[in-house]
């Protein structure tokens, strides 16, 4: 596991810059709260220190979501942000951030945030519906996007333990999404999307960039280089820092 973490970190470090950008990790919840949130924050703090590409601030203070306060960040990470996490003014500040070119990385439970807001659903790509009991399964890379920057240094993964999310609408129906990862429905029970079960994607959205992964329920994910490497490259891609040559 440690060797995978080192290999994926190296893929980021090779593109190091002298001017790190600022990332906000936001993990407010309303309702169910993932035990893995502290591990997720610690993992991104460690990744920031190892790569020197960005610096991170962790917060659950939604009152700080104003256009002025968000303007210093290049990327906002929505880490397990379940429930009604924003007032309308705070959500409007997030819209302003995205429309000004800001990046968003949304992880796992973020798909269960603000369930009744259509804009937030489009930002994430699809609203979470439910999941079957967690079990090990196989994650497949979308062949057409296997060379995408976020998937660089990655392949698929067998035996991955997670909650295999189902969504209210099939993500493939959202033509704005570039699907990156799919679950193999033959490897787990309870999938509702047939033979094509998207679990990770990215999109250009209203001037900004968004990367979402439905993986990441358990603490172990945030100590795994395969997963953390995708999050790290997702941050760089959302910040438009994937090509520093």
- Whole-number mean pLDDT of the chain? 93
**CA–CA gap between residue 42 and residue 23 (Å, rounded):** 14
pLDDT for 19 equals 86
The pTM score is 0.93
Give the Å distances, CA to CA, from 38 to 4, 28, 130: 21, 12, 23
The token duo for 71 is: 């303007």
Q: How many CB atoms lie within 10 A of CB 204?
A: 10
pLDDT for 2 equals 39
**CA–CA gap between residue 191 and residue 197 (Å, rounded):** 7
25 near 57, Cβ under 8 Å?
yes
The whole-number average pLDDT for the span 230-234 is: 97
64 near 28, Cβ under 8 Å?
no
In order of their start, the domains of the chain are 2-238 (3.40.50.880)
**CA–CA gap between residue 185 and residue 153 (Å, rounded):** 24
At residue 89 the predicted structure's pLDDT band, cuts being 50, 70 and 90, is very high
pLDDT for 243 equals 79
155 near 242, Cβ under 8 Å?
no
* Helix locations, 37-138, DSSP H: 37-51, 67-70, 88-99, 118-124
For residue range 167-211, what is the model confidence (pLDDT) as tens digits?
999 999 999 999 999 999 999 999 999 999 999 999 999 999 999
**CA–CA gap between residue 30 and residue 82 (Å, rounded):** 6
108 near 217, Cβ under 8 Å?
yes
Higher pLDDT, 153 or 226: 226
pLDDT for 79 equals 98
Report residue 157: phi and psi, to 5°: -150, 125
For residue range 129-142, what is the model confidence (pLDDT) as tens digits?
999 999 999 999 99
pLDDT for 132 equals 94
**CA–CA gap between residue 213 and residue 218 (Å, rounded):** 13
The token duo for 187 is: 């490897």
pLDDT for 128 equals 97
pLDDT for 154 equals 82
The token duo for 123 is: 């930002």
**CA–CA gap between residue 10 and residue 67 (Å, rounded):** 34
Report residue 142: phi and psi, to 5°: -65, 120
Tell whether the model's pLDDT for residue 12 goes beyond 70: no
230 near 200, Cβ under 8 Å?
yes
Give the Å distances, CA to CA, from 215 to 9, 17, 34, 132: 19, 29, 13, 14
For residue range 37-86, what is the model confidence (pLDDT) as tens digits?
999 999 999 999 999 999 999 999 999 999 999 999 999 999 999 999 99
pLDDT for 28 equals 98
Cα-only R_g, the chain: 16
């Amino acid at each position: 596991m440690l060797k995978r973490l080192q290999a994926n970190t190296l893929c980021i470090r090779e593109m190091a810059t002298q001017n790190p950008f600022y990332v906000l990790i936001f993990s407010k919840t309303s309702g169910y709260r993932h035990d893995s949130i502290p591990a997720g924050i610690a993992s991104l703090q460690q990744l920031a220190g190892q790569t020197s590409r960005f610096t991170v601030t962790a917060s659950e203070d939604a009152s700080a979501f104003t256009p002025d306060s968000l303007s210093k960040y290049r990327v906002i990470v929505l880490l397990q942000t379940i429930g009604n996490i924003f007032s309308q003014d705070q959500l409007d500040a997030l819209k302003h951030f995205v429309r000004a070119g800001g990046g968003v990385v949304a992880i796992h439970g973020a798909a269960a945030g603000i369930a009744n807001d259509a804009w937030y659903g489009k930002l994430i790509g699809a609203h979470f519906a439910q999941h079957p009991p967690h079990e090990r399964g196989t994650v497949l890379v979308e062949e057409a996007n296997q060379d995408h920057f976020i998937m660089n240094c990655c392949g698929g993964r067998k035996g991955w333990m997670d909650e295999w999310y189902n969504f209210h609408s099939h993500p493939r129906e959202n033509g704005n999404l570039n699907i990156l990862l799919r679950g193999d429905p033959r490897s787990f029970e309870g999938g509702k999307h047939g033979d094509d079960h998207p679990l990770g994607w990215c999109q250009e959205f209203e001037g900004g960039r968004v990367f979402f992964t439905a993986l990441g329920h358990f603490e172990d994910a945030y100590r795994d280089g395969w997963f953390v490497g995708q999050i790290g490259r997702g941050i760089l891609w959302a910040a438009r820092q994937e090509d520093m040559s």
